[in-house]
Amino acid sequence: MTFRCIVLAVAAVAFLSAAQAGEQPPAPMFWDMKERLPKPDLSAVGRVRFLTTTDFPPFNYLDRDGRLTGFHVDLVRAICEELEIADKCEIQAMPWEQLGDALERGRGEAIVAGLAITQQNRAKYAFSRPYLQFPARFMMPKTSAATEPLYEKVKGERIGVIAGSGQEEMLRAYFPGAKVVTYSRQEWMYADLKAGKIAGAFGDGMRFAFWLAGSEAGGCCRFAGGPYLAPEYLGPGLALATDVNNPTLAAAFDYALQQMALKGRFTELYLRYFPVSFY
């Protein structure tokens, strides 16, 4: 086993105890319990308008009555309550391509819409720390699902993955003994998994969780091993963005997010929208 495979396996261990005990894993904890972030003074802030979109379910979307709802909407509400500025907070939806311009023109103070944390974007935005990351997971038939360590157990096995994805790169790098079977469409991979044409699938844990919870899966399969976090392949996750010249607000979001995590509010919110935890 290579060094980076050992690192990857260690990253998965923190989430395994609950799963091995037959319990539903809780929301992940990305915060150091011993770190103490200073409580921000936002008394001089007149308004905090969060900008988002309507086309990123379950994070932000319109419900049957046309009301903006989703994980991000409730997250914003909880952040504002934690910062004691609920009366100053607003949230506004607009097309994705207008978000950056609206923030630059002062029509909002923060973006909460899954904006990618890239080097290019860091030149324009100050980001909070990530509040959610998307792990890669193995998914296998219930009757043959393997347990950790999977490095040896997937050797020689046909494992499906979406072609060109970060998960494909990760699978080839960390599990070189697997026989990689690539797919261009998610549903084709699911169909082959159900039919026993592949021993397992490797991909985005959130997508897998929704499929496992749906009627299409028919209770055929479950997660096996993991979760696996590798930002170099999967990205750093989701964060709130403010104007690059407003790092104080981004730091305030960090304080609120940490407090939510420590008090269990983030776990409650996470499991409300993701009842089948992808961790």
pTM of the model: 0.85
Q: What is the CATH number of the domain that holds 77?
A: 3.40.190.10
125 and 189 together in one domain? no
165 and 211 together in one domain? yes
Could you tell me the two tokens for 259? 């407090």
186 and 216 together in one domain? yes
The low-confidence residues of the chain, meaning pLDDT below 50, are 1-22
On whether residue 23 sits in a domain, the answer given is no
Q: How far apart are CA 271 and CA 266, in angstroms?
A: 9
Q: How far apart are CA 255 and CA 131, in angstroms?
A: 11
65 and 188 together in one domain? no
242 and 113 together in one domain? yes
On whether residue 8 sits in a domain, the answer given is no
67 and 128 together in one domain? yes
Residue 30 pLDDT: 82
Q: How far apart are CA 277 and CA 254, in angstroms?
A: 23
Residue 6 pLDDT: 33
On whether residue 250 sits in a domain, the answer given is yes
Residue 14 pLDDT: 42
Q: What is the pLDDT of residues 46-63, one digit of tens each?
A: 999 999 999 999 999 999
Residue 5 pLDDT: 41
Q: What is the pLDDT of residues 161-216, one digit of tens each?
A: 999 999 999 999 999 999 999 999 999 999 999 999 999 999 999 999 999 999 99
The position carrying tokens 């934690």 is: 82
CB contact set of 199 (below 8 Å; sequence gap of 6+): 140, 144, 154, 157, 158, 159
Query: Residue 199 is part of which domain span?
Result: 134-234
Q: Report in angstroms the alpha-carbon separations of 59 from 66, 72, 111, 198.
A: 15, 5, 13, 31
Q: How far apart are CA 146 and CA 199, in angstroms?
A: 10
- Give the Cβ contact number of residue 133 at 10 Å: 18
Q: How far apart are CA 77 and CA 72, in angstroms?
A: 9
212 and 245 together in one domain? no
On whether residue 21 sits in a domain, the answer given is no
Domain boundary (234, 249, 265) is at 234
Contact 125, 243 (CB under 8 A): yes
On whether residue 279 sits in a domain, the answer given is no
190 and 265 together in one domain? no
On whether residue 29 sits in a domain, the answer given is no
170 and 211 together in one domain? yes
Residue 175 pLDDT: 96
On whether residue 17 sits in a domain, the answer given is no
Q: How far apart are CA 177 and CA 151, in angstroms?
A: 8
76 and 165 together in one domain? no
- One-letter amino acid of 31: W
201 and 70 together in one domain? no
Give the number of domains in the chain. 2
Strand partners, 62: 68
On whether residue 278 sits in a domain, the answer given is no
82 and 142 together in one domain? no
DSSP string of 208-240, one letter each residue: HHHHHHSTTTTT-EEEEEEEE--HHHH-S-B--
